[in-house]
């Protein structure tokens, strides 16, 4: 429709009629004269509105989800934080239990050897001195620590103190290639010198080239003069391999250390040596072998033997019955 004077008048007239119908409908209420027309329009356009609503609702839901996503994200973040805190608490409890077990084992070792120890915690790995296998512990000169003191834990020999600061100390571990300690074999008392080999077993040179030794034999520290750097009787490890005797003055054996050098936490520095050599008292108890159960199976007798036994058992009642008959014949 072109924009003319007549079209404008027609538009104004339609608007006026629409307002008039709206006014009549509002005033008429349920008795409105246009109610029938409204119902007819609803019957025609209702299905169309439902289809449009069904298509639009998912979009509305998505918009609502986006609108609420901020609150949901905040809630999820809070739950994740709570879970992380709970995991941290559980992890802390597990660690505390492990440390208590380590401390308990170390105290038992110290008690068995009558060592006076100062407890410490490993706080760093490696040191500025250039050693390959060292740790730093959180005790030093203020705690009575001195150079060349023995360091142990609940499993056995850890190393020796090499450097002492006011509040920390450096420990050279027993598996370091520069580490050497005198050893003594359990029961046989064969002496030797153990040297660290990093991740490999300790190399021990026995002074007796003809010494009898086998895998499973155990070693302890022999001890040093004035108990420095090593006190006697500290468990070192267990023999895992023996080189054949070659007729030399010494014999090489390989020893798996009791201490796990890659998982050190609680250690003890021996600040007071025992009054006497504990010998083998600090070594752990060997597990007792499980008792052997012996089952004796008796084979059944052959079928022929069973028949013969049955025949003999059947004859015995006849003999018993014959005895009274003989006695009756002998009676006058």
Percent residues over pLDDT 90 in the chain:
48
Q: How confident is the model at residue 213 (pLDDT cuts 50, 70, 90)?
A: very high
Find the mean pLDDT for residues 311-325: 51
Looking at residue 48, its pLDDT comes to 47
Q: How confident is the model at residue 246 (pLDDT cuts 50, 70, 90)?
A: confident
Q: What is the rounded CA–CA span in Å between residue 47 and residue 31?
A: 26
| Token couple for 131 | 């050693």
CB of 124 within 8 A of CB of 138?
Answer: no
Average pLDDT, the chain: 78
Say if residue 175's pLDDT is above 70: yes
pTM exceeds 0.85 for this model: no
Mind giving me the DSSP string for 49-101?
HHHHHHHHHHHHHHHHHHHHHHHHHHHHHHHHHHHHHHHHHHHHHHHHHHHHH
Mind giving me the DSSP string for 184-236?
EETTT--EEEEEEETTEEEEEEES-TT----TT-EEEE---GGG-S--TT-EE
Find the mean pLDDT for residues 120-133: 75
Q: What is the rounded CA–CA span in Å between residue 219 and residue 80?
A: 51
Looking at residue 331, its pLDDT comes to 45
Looking at residue 45, its pLDDT comes to 45
CB of 174 within 8 A of CB of 158?
Answer: yes
Q: How confident is the model at residue 27 (pLDDT cuts 50, 70, 90)?
A: low
Residues in the chain: 332
Q: How confident is the model at residue 309 (pLDDT cuts 50, 70, 90)?
A: low
C-alpha torsion angle, residues 125, 237, 118, 96 (rounded to 10): 70
CB of 257 within 8 A of CB of 201?
Answer: yes
pLDDT, tens digit, 9 for 90 and up, residues 71-120 = 555 766 776 676 666 666 555 677 788 888 899 999 999 999 999 999 99
pLDDT, tens digit, 9 for 90 and up, residues 147-157 = 999 999 999 99
Task: Name the more confident of 90 and 241.
Answer: 241
73 Cα distance to chain centroid: 34
Q: What is the rounded CA–CA span in Å between residue 270 and residue 227?
A: 10
Looking at residue 312, its pLDDT comes to 58
Looking at residue 247, its pLDDT comes to 74
Find the mean pLDDT for residues 26-30: 54
Find the mean pLDDT for residues 278-293: 81
Say if residue 195's pLDDT is above 60: yes
Looking at residue 128, its pLDDT comes to 47
Phi-psi region of 130 (alpha: psi -120 to 50; beta: other; left: phi over 0): left
Q: What is the rounded CA–CA span in Å between residue 29 and residue 17?
A: 18
Highest mean pLDDT among 79-88, 135-144, 244-253, 321-330: 135-144
Place of tokens 């005797």: 245
């Amino acid at each position: 429709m072109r924009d003319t004077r007549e079209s404008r008048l027609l538009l104004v007239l339609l608007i006026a009629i629409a307002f008039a119908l709206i006014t009549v409908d509002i005033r008429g209420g349920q008795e409105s004269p246009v109610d029938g027309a409204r119902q007819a329009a609803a019957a025609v356009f209702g299905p169309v509105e439902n289809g449009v609503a069904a298509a639009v609702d998912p979009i509305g839901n998505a918009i609502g989800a986006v609108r609420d996503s901020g609150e949901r994200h905040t809630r999820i973040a809070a739950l994740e934080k709570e879970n992380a805190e709970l995991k941290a608490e559980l992890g802390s409890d597990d660690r505390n239990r492990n440390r208590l077990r380590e401390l308990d084992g170390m105290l038992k070792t110290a008690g068995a050897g009558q060592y006076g120890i100062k407890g410490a915690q490993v706080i760093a790995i490696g040191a500025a001195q250039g050693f390959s296998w060292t740790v730093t512990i959180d005790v030093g000169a203020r705690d009575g620590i001195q150079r060349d003191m023995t360091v142990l834990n609940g499993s056995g020999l850890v190393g020796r103190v090499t450097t002492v600061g006011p509040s920390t100390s450096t420990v050279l571990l027993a598996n370091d290639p520069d580490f050497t300690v005198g050893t003594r074999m359990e029961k046989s008392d064969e002496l030797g010198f153990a040297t660290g080999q990093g991740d490999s077993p300790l190399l021990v040179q026995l002074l007796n080239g003809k010494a009898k030794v086998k895998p499973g034999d155990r070693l302890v520290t022999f001890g040093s003069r004035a108990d420095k750097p090593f006190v006697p009787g500290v468990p070192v490890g267990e023999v895992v391999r023996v080189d054949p005797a070659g007729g030399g003055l010494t014999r090489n054996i390989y020893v798996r250390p009791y201490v796990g050098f890659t998982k050190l936490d609680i250690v003890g520095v021996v600040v007071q040596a025992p009054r006497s050599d504990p010998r083998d008292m600090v070594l752990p108890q060997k597990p007792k072998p499980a008792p052997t159960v012996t089952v004796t199976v008796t084979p059944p007798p052959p079928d022929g033997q069973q028949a013969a036994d049955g025949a003999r058992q059947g004859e015995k009642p006849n003999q018993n019955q014959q005895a009274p008959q003989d006695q009756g014949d002998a009676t006058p």
